[in-house]
Structure formats: structure tokens, C-alpha cells
Amino acid sequence: MILVLLGPPGAGKGTQGERIAERLGIPKIATGDVLRAAVRDGTEQGLAAKAYMDRGDLVPDSVILGIMKEVLSSPAAAKGAILDGVVRTVPQAEGLTTMLAELGRKVDRFLLFDVPEDELMKRLGGRVVCDSCQTPYKGLEPGTRCEKCGGNLVRRKDDEPEAIRNRLKVYEAQTAPVIEWTKEKKMNLHKIDATGELDDVTERAMKALEEPTK
Ligand code: AP5
């Protein structure tokens, strides 16, 4: 199954993507994590992406589609993948669809995580992430150790208030049109309420995946 997670920054795509991946036994691939690792490793791709990411702007489509091509043709994605944070523009959606068609595959479902904006601001303002495995946490201080891998918990540069505001604007301008695009193309889009307890959100997501496809 190829599952695309859509939703604004802080909607819980990373948190729920991990849980859904575990349930379905397929990997979760997050373009944000791939890019942050490239920044950390100081690769050419990372150096090119860093300024966009720190401001909360989108990295150019060509870079993202290059990453997706590599990821989707790798053996790890042979049984399927959960794509977190891609697609974020209509050209990315079109590029991904074409790329998958060339591999004889398609996006099976889009899951749209719905959370009101004031809740998003609260979540992102209070988030720390592991600088090693990228697991997000709330209610912990930077410098605490990651429960999963022992890495160091840090605040993301794009979780500063100005960058959060920009990311939300960018989402409305460039990513929200992808939702209309999925409707025009008669894709399987499921919107779920992503507020409340983590387990409840996971159950809503799993239930949506059981709905009949078009
Ligand atoms: P990326 O890392 O993808 O960031 P994002 O989309 O802004 O999403 P976030 O990681 O901020 O949020 P999330 O929805 O995963 O929520 P999370 O689970 O962490 O991208 C970063 C940057 O990379 C982009 O700005 C761009 O520059 C670049 N980039 C990446 N992909 C790109 C692409 N395709 N095209 C172009 N550029 C790209 O949860 C948030 C917080 O809330 C956590 O603290 C969590 O513990 C908490 N939380 C989760 N669920 C709940 C709940 N139910 N109740 C209470 N708290 C909750």
C-alpha cells in the first residue's frame, strides 16, 4: 500500500505515521526527516535545503521528487510505504503519480489530518524532537534524552513562532490545493479528526483505511 499523509504542520503526521507503519508493517518515509539528516550530514542537498527549512518555506519540487524517486525504487519500499510530508504542492502530486505509474504502482489512499490552527500553534510551540531518530515529544525540555534511542531532545529551528506562522501560510497557499487536486482526480481521500488522545486518532486512521476504495 502507498499511503500519503496530508495535513498542516503539527497535525500529527509524524506521530501517527509511525504508529500506522507499525500496524501495517511497511516503512514510514518522511521528507522532512530525510532533509534534516542531509542538513546534519552537511551534504550538498542539505546545504541547499537548510535556508528554506529554517524559514519554514518549501524546498524546491525538483529536490523532493529526486528524493522520492530514490526512496520508491529502493527494496525497503517494495511492499509499500507511508509518505509523511510529501506531497505538498500540485506539481509534487503530479510528479509522484507519474513516477509511481512508471513503476506500475499508484497512491492507494490519502489521509488528511484535521486539527484547528490554535491547537497546531500550541503543539508546535511545545514540541521537542530527538536529534537522532526524529521522534517528537511534548511536555519535555530540550536536553532530555530520547526514550526510544537515547538521543538528545532539541527544539527545531522552524518551531520558532515566526517560522510556524510562515509554515501555516505556506500550507494554505501551496499544500491545501493538493486536497482539491485529489478530489478532481477522484483519488481516495479520507479526512480524519486528528485531535484528542493519540490512540483514538490512530483508531480513526485505521478505520479510514478499511473504507472501500473508489
Ligand atoms: P516536516 O518535518 O514534514 O514538517 P511539517 O509538515 O511542518 O510537519 P511537522 O513535523 O511539523 O508536524 P507533524 O504533522 O509531523 O506533527 P508531529 O507528529 O510532529 O517538514 C519540515 C520542512 O522540510 C518543511 O517546512 C520544508 O521546508 C521541508 N519539506 C519537507 N517535505 C517537503 C516537501 N514535500 N516539499 C517541500 N519541502 C519539504 O506532532 C506535532 C506535536 O504535536 C508533537 O509534539 C506531538 O507530540 C504532538 N501531538 C501529536 N498528536 C497529538 C495529539 N493528538 N494531541 C496532542 N499533541 C499531539
Q: What is this structure's pTM?
A: 0.94
How far is the centre of ligand 1, averaged over its atoms, from the C-alpha of 214 (Å)? Answer: 28
| Residue 214 scores a pLDDT above 80 | no
Q: Give the whole-angstrom CA distance, residue 64 versus residue 61.
A: 5
10 in the Ramachandran plot: left (φ > 0), alpha (ψ -120 to 50) or beta? left
How far is the centre of ligand 1, averaged over its atoms, from the C-alpha of 57 (Å)? Answer: 13
Percent of the chain whose predicted confidence (pLDDT) is above 70: 100
Please, are residues 56 and 164 in contact by the beta-carbon 8 Å criterion?
yes
Nearest CA to ligand 1 atom 6: 9
Q: Which of 5, 20, 31, 165 to mutate to test the pocket of ligand 1 (most atoms within 8 A of CB)?
A: 31
Q: Which of 40, 58, 120, 153 to mutate to test the pocket of ligand 1 (most atoms within 8 A of CB)?
A: 58
Residues annotated as catalytic (active site), given as ranges: 13, 88, 127, 156, 167
Q: Give the whole-angstrom CA distance, residue 13 versus residue 15.
A: 6
- pLDDT-derived band at 77 (thresholds 50, 70, 90) equals very high
| Residue 27 scores a pLDDT above 80 | yes
| Residue 121 scores a pLDDT above 90 | yes
For 134-189, the pLDDT digits (tens) are 999 999 999 999 999 999 999 999 999 999 999 999 999 999 999 999 999 999 99
| Residue 115 scores a pLDDT above 80 | yes
- Helix axis angle for 61-72 and 90-102, nearest 10°, is 30
Q: Map grid coordinates 505538498 to a residue.
A: 88
How far is the centre of ligand 1, averaged over its atoms, from the C-alpha of 12 (Å)? Answer: 6
Mean pLDDT in the chain?
Answer: 95
